[in-house]
Amino acid sequence: MKVTSTIIPDVLIIEPKVFGDERGFFFESFNQQAFQQATGFGVQFVQDNHSRSARGVLRGLHYQIGQVQGKLVRVVSGAVFDVAVDLRKSSSTYGRWVGVELSESNRRQLWIPPGFAHGFLTLSDSAEFLYKTSDYYSSQFERCIAWNDPTLSIEWPLEGSSPQLSIKDQAGSLLTESQVFDGTI
């Protein structure tokens, strides 16, 4: 596996070693020992999630203030623009974001550590998105930051159209009004 740091060093792009020929391909999408050795993070994942979204659907920016989740995300069909926002006030990259295209063809994964908000925009006609989490989902701790927060100025590749948002995502808070992580996570 190849691991590449992003402009926020704790957010990592992970590219598996793919074995393929005219018959198809094979790769390990996750191996606990290899992940820990390559990243230095001894994360235990407790939940796998799978979503499907149509073109132009934007999900996020989601995080949990309690039962804080790290996420290992990937796309198995289609393509998305995936975004992580640092919400750790003690971090030198607080309030900064990183965006990466994840697709079935590039097979990239993104490691988003605890303390980050996460969201994605579907770029293809549809996309199937898989992610592992380091803690369980809890609606009481779930929070959402507005996808278009002017403080963040995320450069979503919208191609002139407005994204499709859930009611929850339409009600996202501004970063300046949101609960964030003050201490060590």
- Residues identified as active-site: 62, 131
Largest alpha-carbon pair distance within the chain? 53
Q: Residue 177 carries which DSSP code?
A: G
* HEC readout, 43-93: CCCCEEEEEEEECCEEEEEEEECCCCCCEEEEEEECEEEEEEEECECCCCC
Spatial distance between the Cα atoms of 33 and 10, rounded to a whole number of angstroms: 19
Spatial distance between the Cα atoms of 2 and 36, rounded to a whole number of angstroms: 13
